[in-house]
Structure 1
Amino acid sequence: MRILGIDTSTKYAGIAVLEDGILLAQSTMQFMASHSEKLLPEIAHILEIMKIPLETIDYYAITVGPGSFTGLRVGISTAKGLSFVTKKKVIPVSTLEVIAWEFPYCKYQICPIFDARKKEVFTALFKWENNKILRLKEDSVLGINALVDWIKEKTIFAGSGADFYKEKLIEKLGSKAIFPPLIYSVPHPGIVAYIGLQRINEATNGKDLKPEYLRKSEAEIKITLSTSSQDKV
C-alpha cells in the first residue's frame, strides 16, 4: 500500500511516499515563495525521480491544521485535486499530532506549539503509554498562561511556537519545560503518511476535506466586524 503524505501547515512544506510502512522518498523545504508555486512541481519531481506513477498511490494523507491559514488552504486544495483526478481517498491528520509522533516512546508529556499570533498558541498535549500515543488535550488555541495551567509534570515543548515562547515557558515552568533541537519542530511528511497508514478507516473523499483552523482568519474577522458595524447603523 502506498500513501503520499503532504504537509503545508507551516513555513515548511513536505512530501513523502510510504509503501507498506517503509519510507520510499521524502522532501522537506522551507519555501521562500508561496507553497502554491512549489508544491505540485515538487510532488511531480519526487514521483518522477522515484519512478512512482501517480496512479499507484492508494491514499493521500494531509495535515489539516492547525497552522498557517494560507499554507493549509494550498495543501488541502492540492490533496482535493489529486483525490479527484485519481479517485483515491484522503486521510486528514492533525499537524500537532505529527509533532508529537517525532518523540516515540518518550517518558515525558509532549506539548506541540505553533504561534497563533495575538499572544496565543495552537497546542495540544500527548503522552506515550504502553507503546501507544495518547491524546491528553484536544487541539486548542489559547494564551500561554492558560497553556501553563495544563502542565503538571516534565513536558517536551516542540514546534515553532516552542522556540518563540521558550523564555516565557522556562520562567513559568522552570525545569518542567524541556526543549529539543529545533529540527524536531518541523512537521515531517513521512510521519504524516505513517499516521495516515494507521487511520485508513478515517479516509474520506477529497471533496469532504476541511481545514481545522481552530479560529477565524483575519479576513473573516474583518468581515464579521464590518457586518456588525453596518448592522448598528
Structure 2
Amino acid sequence: MELSIDTSTRQASIGLSEGGNILAKTSWKSKQNHSKECFPKIINLLEEANSKSSDIDSVFVSKGPGGFSALRVGISIAKSFATAAKIPLIGVCSLDIEAYEFLNNNKTVWAVISAGFNKIYVKKYTDNLENPCELISTEKFFSYLVGKEIICGEGVLENLNNFKSEIPNSTIIPKMTNPTRKPEILSKIGINKILSKKIDNPETLEPIYIGGSQHASAKKK
C-alpha cells in the first residue's frame, strides 16, 4: 500500500492506494498549521481503510514548488516513514500533479500555483514533463499565452476572474475544484516512478524552492 502526501499549499491532501489505485483519501484547507494537522489525518485515514502504518510499502510526496514551511512538513513526514520502514520514497513536482490529467491531448498545458504578491509558479508541458518550473508575474504569464493552450491548477482557480479577463479567448480553462492536486493523481505518478525505478534518497530529497513571498517570509522567521 502506498501513502501519498501533499502539503504544497493550504489546499492539502493525503491518500492511500494499492498499485496506484486510490483506496482512501482526504483533503482540507489548512489553517497554516500543517505540522499539527497532517499526521493525525494519516492515522484517521489508515483507520478508515482498516489498515496500519506497517502496511505502507511506498511513500509519495509533493516536493514543490509551493509554500516554504508547508512543503517542509509533508516532506519531513514522508522521509520519516521511508527511513523508519526502509521503503521507497518518491518526490513529485507539485505542478506535475496539477497538469497530469490534462496531458496527452495534443495541446500545450500550463500548470499554475500562486506564490503571493502577484507572482505565480508555472510550468509548461508540451511533449514531456521536463520543462523547468518558473516564478514569474501574472502579467508575464499572460504574455506567454498565444491561445488554444490549457491553463490549469490551483493558481488559476484562485484567480479565475482575473485570468479570464486577461487571457486569449481561445485559451482553455478546464472545470476545476479544490483540491486541484488530487491524491489519486499523485499516487499514479508515484507508482509510475516506482516502476521506472526513479526512487529518491531520503537523505538527499529536497523541496523545489524558487523563491516567492512565502519563501522569503518563512526564511525571516
Q: Same fold, TM exceeding 0.5?
A: yes
With normalisation by structure 1, the TM-score equals: 0.82
Residue identity in the other structure for 1:82: F
Deviation at 1:222, TM superposition (A): 5.4
Of residues 207, 210, 213 in structure 2, which corresponds to 1:214?
210
1:139 aligned partner: 133
Q: Does 1:148 align with 2:148?
A: no
2:22 aligned partner: 23
Residue identity in the other structure for 2:186: V
Separation in 2 of the partners of 1:185 and 1:5?
14
> Is the 1:116–1:122 Cα contact (8 Å) retained in structure 2?
yes
Question: For residues 33 and 66 of structure 1, do their structure 2 counterparts lie closer, same or farther at Cα, with a shift above 3 Å needed?
Answer: closer
Separation in 1 of the partners of 2:66 and 2:217?
16
Separation in 2 of the partners of 1:172 and 1:70?
31
Farther-moved stretch of structure 1 (202-211 vs 55-64): 202-211
User: Could you list the runs of 5+ residues in structure 2 that have no partner in the other structure?
Assistant: none
Farther-moved stretch of structure 1 (102-111 vs 190-199): 102-111
Task: Describe how 1:217-232 pairs up with structure 2 within 5 A.
Answer: 217-219=215-217
Alpha-carbon displacement from aligned partner over 1:131-180 (angstroms, at most 9, x marks no partner)? xxx23732111122332343233122222321344445444432132222
Alpha-carbon displacement from aligned partner over 1:94-128 (angstroms, at most 9, x marks no partner)? 1001011132544432211111123221010124x
Task: Describe how 1:63-74 pairs up with structure 2 within 5 A.
Answer: 63-74=62-73
1:13 aligned partner: 12
Question: For residues 37 and 138 of structure 1, do their structure 2 counterparts lie closer, same or farther at Cα, with a shift above 3 Å needed?
Answer: same
Of residues 193, 199, 202 in structure 1, which corresponds to 2:193?
199
Deviation at 1:219, TM superposition (A): 4.4
Task: Describe how 1:1-233 pairs up with structure 2 within 5 A.
Answer: 2-32=1-31, 34-103=33-102, 105-127=104-126, 134-135=128-129, 137-183=131-177, 186-200=180-194, 201-215=197-211, 217-219=215-217
* Superposed CA RMSD: 2.3
Q: Secondary structure at the match of 2:187?
A: helix
Runs of 4+ in 1 over 4 A off after TM superposition: 219-223
> Is the 2:147–2:168 Cα contact (8 Å) retained in structure 1?
no
User: Could you list the runs of 5+ residues in structure 1 that have no partner in the other structure?
Assistant: 224-233
Question: For residues 163 and 12 of structure 1, do their structure 2 counterparts lie closer, same or farther at Cα, with a shift above 3 Å needed?
Answer: closer
Separation in 1 of the partners of 2:56 and 2:25?
15
Deviation at 1:46, TM superposition (A): 1.0
Flag the structure with higher helix content: 1
Number of residue pairs matched by the alignment: 217
Q: Secondary structure at the match of 1:174?
A: coil
Deviation at 1:10, TM superposition (A): 1.4
Flag the structure with higher strand content: 1
Residue identity in the other structure for 2:129: R
